[in-house]
């Protein structure tokens, strides 16, 4: 097994085109479903954290999948239960967001949750900021 490295250009996020949750501690959170080219591919979502303050902010957080919490109408899959075990959240890293900066995390939501039945699954993402505030995203319906 090998590692593939891609030199993709940085993704530009159109902040005006996204729906956002309410600001907390100068941050906002947005989610949207990523459109897949292949209908057999499990759905994924884009989770964007944005600094809406006027100064740079530094966060020390667990890995992104342990920083974000998913309120989902589907149950965790066996893979999701294993992936999100608390003992897997030992990693910590620091990220600095300048005023207006965004961080986009693509989450394979259809692999983490069991979404085998056709229909819509409602989800919302939250995270607890280092200052203790809870940041909530917009709510979306994921279509499968």
Structural domain boundaries in the chain: 18-143
Per-residue pLDDT of the chain (144 residues; tens, 9 = 90+): 344 444 455 567 888 899 999 999 999 999 999 987 777 788 999 999 999 999 999 999 888 889 999 999 999 999 999 999 988 888 888 999 999 999 999 999 999 999 988 889 999 999 999 889 999 999 999 988
Q: Left if phi > 0, otherwise alpha if psi is -120 to 50, otherwise beta: which for 16?
A: alpha
Separation between Cα atoms, residue 142 and residue 119, nearest integer Å = 8
Separation between Cα atoms, residue 28 and residue 25, nearest integer Å = 9
pTM of the full structure: 0.87
Q: Under CATH, which architecture does the 18-143 domain have?
A: Sandwich (2.60)
């Amino acid at each position: 097994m090998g590692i593939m490295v891609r030199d993709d250009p940085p993704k530009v996020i159109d902040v005006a085109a996204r729906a956002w949750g309410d600001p907390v501690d100068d941050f906002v959170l947005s989610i949207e479903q990523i459109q897949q080219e292949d209908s057999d591919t499990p759905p994924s979502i884009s989770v964007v954290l944005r600094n809406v303050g006027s100064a740079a902010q530094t966060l020390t957080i667990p890995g992104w999948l342990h920083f974000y919490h998913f309120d989902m109408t589907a149950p965790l899959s066996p893979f999701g239960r294993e992936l999100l075990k608390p003992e897997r959240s030992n990693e910590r890293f620091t990220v600095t967001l300048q005023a207006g900066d965004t961080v986009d995390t693509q989450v394979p939501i259809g692999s983490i949750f069991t979404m085998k039945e056709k229909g819509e699954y409602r989800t919302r993402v939250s995270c607890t900021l280092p200052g203790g505030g809870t940041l909530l995203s917009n709510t979306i319906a994921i279509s499968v």
